[in-house]
């Protein structure tokens, strides 16, 4: 039973790590502010859920699990709100969500 739980949390943690890395690479390589926001939000949701779920399984049914659940809840509530406020502010400041020449049909070969 313990082995099964360990393997499960190993899988969850690794998947979480993969999502976090993907989001990080996306935030660096994407061409535009809005696409970068899209990539960063992957880490804030999937990455956070998988990593904290993996760690929660290791903790068992103690107070620590409840604290972890509280951390996950606050992350899930505040991170998208911050992204929303950021997108809103960028939009109001006039940054246009054009994808650059990557999506320009005239320049496509």
Given the rule CB under 8 A, which residues bind other proteins? 6, 9-10, 13-14, 16-18, 20-21, 23-25, 27-28, 33, 36-37, 40, 43-44, 47-48, 51-52, 54-55, 58-59, 64, 67-68, 70-71, 74-75, 77-79, 81-86, 88-90, 92-93, 95
Q: How far is CA 71 from CA 52, 77, 79, 82, in A?
A: 9, 10, 12, 16
User: Pick from 6, 13, 86, 68: which is nearest to 46 by CA?
Assistant: 13
To other proteins, the closest distance from the beta carbon of 23 in angstroms equals 7
The minimum distance between CB 107 and other proteins, in angstroms, equals: 21
Q: State both tokens at 62.
A: 């103690």
Write out the two tokens for 61.
Answer: 């049914």
**Helix, strand or coil for residue 3?**
helix
Q: Which is nearer to other proteins, 82 or 103 (CB)?
A: 82
Kindly state the smallest distance separating residue 99's Cβ from other proteins, in Å. 15
Burial class (CB in 10 A: 0-12, 13-18, 19+), 49: middle
Give whichever of 73 and 103 is closer to other proteins, judged by the CB atom.
Answer: 73
- CB of residue 102 to other proteins, shortest distance in Å: 16
Enter the tokens of residue 83.
């992204």
């Amino acid at each position: 039973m313990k082995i099964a739980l360990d393997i499960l949390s190993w899988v969850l943690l690794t998947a979480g790590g993969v999502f976090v890395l993907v989001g990080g690479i996306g935030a660096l390589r994407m061409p535009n502010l809005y696409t970068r926001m899209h990539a960063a939000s992957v880490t804030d949701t999937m990455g956070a859920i998988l990593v904290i779920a993996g760690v929660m399984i290791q903790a068992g049914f103690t107070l620590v699990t409840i604290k972890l659940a509280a951390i996950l809840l606050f992350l899930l509530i505040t991170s998208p709100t911050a992204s929303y406020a950021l997108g809103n502010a960028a939009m109001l400041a006039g940054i246009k969500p054009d994808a650059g020449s990557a999506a320009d049909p005239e320049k496509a070969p």
